[in-house]
């Protein structure tokens, strides 16, 4: 499978037992676009964080002298990408099973993985570049531009509309309530 980040990981589970596993992460452009549609505010925040991370060179970001803002941006990126992308690829490459990704977010393996990324700068860079590959970035950028344009059109349309209908005959109860609320807000 293309654009799959995989790493072996040793960690202690919550019972204190040593464990070894292989973690896989993958995000398709469609999955990322769907997430953006469902989480527009967080997507905008992630865009800003990603822009900040991209502006700085990698050595600065993974060095101890990274600013607090840079560290927060990196944490935000890792959290979103890891929680969206965790899964297991099928042997035939037909699907990437993410049915356990909600459980993963609460596991000792997830905690160990996030710590692992920040203790290993090269792995951090590899994770980010694999997950945010060219296809995902292009879809993300396109979707954000579409959302911004749609929001601007919607705001322009709302400003151009009159205060509301003056004739309320034939409206359902729900339409009347909505019209009255709109009139009261203006």
Report the predicted TM-score, pTM, of the whole model to 2 decimal places: 0.69
108 near 12, Cβ under 8 Å? yes
Three-class secondary structure of residue 36 per DSSP: helix
pLDDT of residue 107: 96
State how far the Cα of 180 lies from the Cα of 160, in Å rounded to an integer. Answer: 18
62 vs 6, 145, 157, CA distance in Å? 20, 30, 45
pLDDT of residue 26: 94
55 vs 50, 58, 73, CA distance in Å? 9, 9, 12
How does pLDDT run along the chain (186 residues), one tens digit per residue?
688 999 999 999 999 999 999 999 999 888 888 888 898 888 887 777 666 655 555 555 555 567 777 778 788 889 989 999 999 999 998 999 999 989 999 999 999 999 999 889 889 989 988 998 888 777 766 766 666 666 667 666 655 555 555 555 666 666 666 666 676 555
pLDDT of residue 86: 96
């Amino acid at each position: 499978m293309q654009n799959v980040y995989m790493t072996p990981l040793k960690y202690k589970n919550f019972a204190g037992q040593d464990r070894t596993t292989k973690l896989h992460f993958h995000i398709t452009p469609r999955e990322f676009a769907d997430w953006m549609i469902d989480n527009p505010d967080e997507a905008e925040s992630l865009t800003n964080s990603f822009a900040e991370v991209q502006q700085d060179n990698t050595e600065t970001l993974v060095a101890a002298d990274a600013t607090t803002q840079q560290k927060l941006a990196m944490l935000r990126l890792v959290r979103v990408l890891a929680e969206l992308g965790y899964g297991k690829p099928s042997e035939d490459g037909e699907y990437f099973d993410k049915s356990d990704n909600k459980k993963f977010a609460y596991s000792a393996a997830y905690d160990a993985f996030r710590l692992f990324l920040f203790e290993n700068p090269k792995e951090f860079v590899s994770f980010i570049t694999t997950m945010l590959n060219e296809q995902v970035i292009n879809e993300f950028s396109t979707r954000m531009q579409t959302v911004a344009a749609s929001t601007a059109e919607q705001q322009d349309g709302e400003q151009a509309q009159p205060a509301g209908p003056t004739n309320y005959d034939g409206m359902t109860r729900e339409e009347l309530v909505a019209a009255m609320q709109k009139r009261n807000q203006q």
